[in-house]
Amino acid sequence: MGRLDGKIAVITGCRRGFGEAMAERFAEEGAAVSICDTVPVEELWENVGEKIIAGKGKVLCHQTDVSKENQVNAMVRETIKEYGTIDILVNNVGIAGPTKAAWELSYDEWNKTLEVNLGGLFLCTKAAVPEMIKKKSGRVINFSSVVAKNPYPYRTPYATTKMGVIGFTRILALEVGRYNITANSICPGNPGGERNIEVLRDHAMYAGKSFDEAQARSRFKLMREKGVLGGKYLGDEGYVEVLISHLDVANLAVFLASDEAAHITGQDINVCAGTTMW
């Protein structure tokens, strides 16, 4: 018996990283998953869908830009048509946005990050939650970041949207609680993945410095495997480890989606090995 047997889960942003890990873990726990990303369906199927099918899971793949209402609505309609309902919504999609001082941003750069990170969250929630309300049961899991709590310079649009995710989730929890629906945020720390490399590269370019990608990857590897930062063992500083894994976050998402988390709602939960403690 899986913890999500018989459940139907919509998970956005599944091409790589947290989304890919959650799609696989939800399927392992018995959920039928409906996953999307902006890449062609064939690529999403090859990268993620085939692994789920190989594990005897059920999966639908969609090419969806969550900032486009018609595409979001189509994904939700297709999911309900195929599976009959939606029990779980995981709003994982998010873009890193530009790396600039706030006053150097163009309005278009600012808006693009908000359209995806908050607009997509809103549109997916608007499309999927009425199905949960209809049957008086559901789970909504939204992705914020520890950056919402420990702001990172030159990341204004990203940090702003991730703070907004927490606020949106808390209010949603109050609104849907009467329907036996929970809403929670996950705030991941640094997984040392491709996006982290991209952000470091952008920071170096903005500062007019060179970027050594091999060195950055080597540093992430040392941090992940040995718990070393700046020459110090993180255990000596009170941290468990600085780099989390995608699986750490996927396991928390499984718990929040399960019956075990029935009375957890309106919370923003860090997965960061102790680098953020509020």
Rounded Cα distance between 175 and 207, Å, is: 44
Q: Among 83, 107, 152, 158, which one carries the catalytic annotation?
A: 158
List the structure tokens of 23.
Answer: 């799609």
Instruction: Examine the residue annotation and report whether 107 is marked as an active-site residue of this protein.
Output: no
| Angle value at C-alpha 20, between 136 and 267, nearest 5 degrees | 45
Alpha carbon of 228 to those of 43, 52, 82, 130, 270: distances in Å?
36, 34, 47, 47, 20
List the structure tokens of 238.
Answer: 């009170």
Rounded Cα distance between 94 and 254, Å, is: 20
**Helix 213-226 × helix 194-207 angle, to 10°:** 130
138 backbone φψ class: left, alpha, beta (φ>0; ψ -120 to 50)? left
Catalytic (active-site) positions: 158
